[in-house]
Amino acid sequence: MEEVLPFDVTIPSYKDSDLGKSHVTFYVIEIRRRGNKVWTLEKRFNEFAELNSLLSKTYGHLPAMPHKTLLPLKEPSQINERRETLEKYLQVLSKRKDIISSEPLKRFLQLDNFAPEIVTKFPTHITDLKGFRFGIRDFIYLPEEGILLFLSITDCL
């Protein structure tokens, strides 16, 4: 059974722009939360490539990204094909629990600004203790909640 996500990600369109002497394409990302809250972002292909690069340093089995081309795409059919692939890319990423709360994806989709309650806050690992007695191995502090956790080991000597 597939999990129902608290939002849907689509790339319904793209916009062509001229920045100075260069022609660029912005992909219009629409994020729709349950309850009909919608926000829209415009991202260039190189921003998707940077996201993929950051995620690939930590996560395996990422979805396929379109290849970067030497020259900018100008044909609407090519741009639309890339748009569809980028949409599938984001949809697969947004279904992965291990990636949805990652810093790169949170920044890319601006989840902290528009939907902070759906982003998991991972605990901060403070230290590993060596040679400490009484079975305590790690401390983990959750600053937002003001909680300090002690992890113990069950190994006996």
89: exposed, middle or buried (Cβ count in 10 Å: 0-12, 13-18, 19+)? buried
Q: What is the pLDDT of residue 157?
A: 46
Cα 108 from Cα 116, distance rounded (Å): 14
pTM: 0.71
Encode the chain (157 residues) as per-residue pLDDT tens digits. Answer: 345 466 889 999 999 988 777 788 999 999 988 777 889 999 999 999 999 999 999 888 899 999 888 887 889 999 999 999 999 999 999 888 888 878 899 899 998 887 776 665 555 555 555 655 566 666 676 666 667 776 666 554 4
Coil, strand, or helix at residue 46?
helix
Residue pair 69/82 in contact (Cβ under 8 Å)? The answer is no
Q: Which CATH class is domain 7-118?
A: alpha beta
**Beta sheet of 38-44, edge-to-edge order:** 7-19, 22-33, 38-44
Q: Are 134 and 151 in contact (CB under 8 A)?
A: no
- CATH 3.30.1520.10: which residues of the chain? 7-118
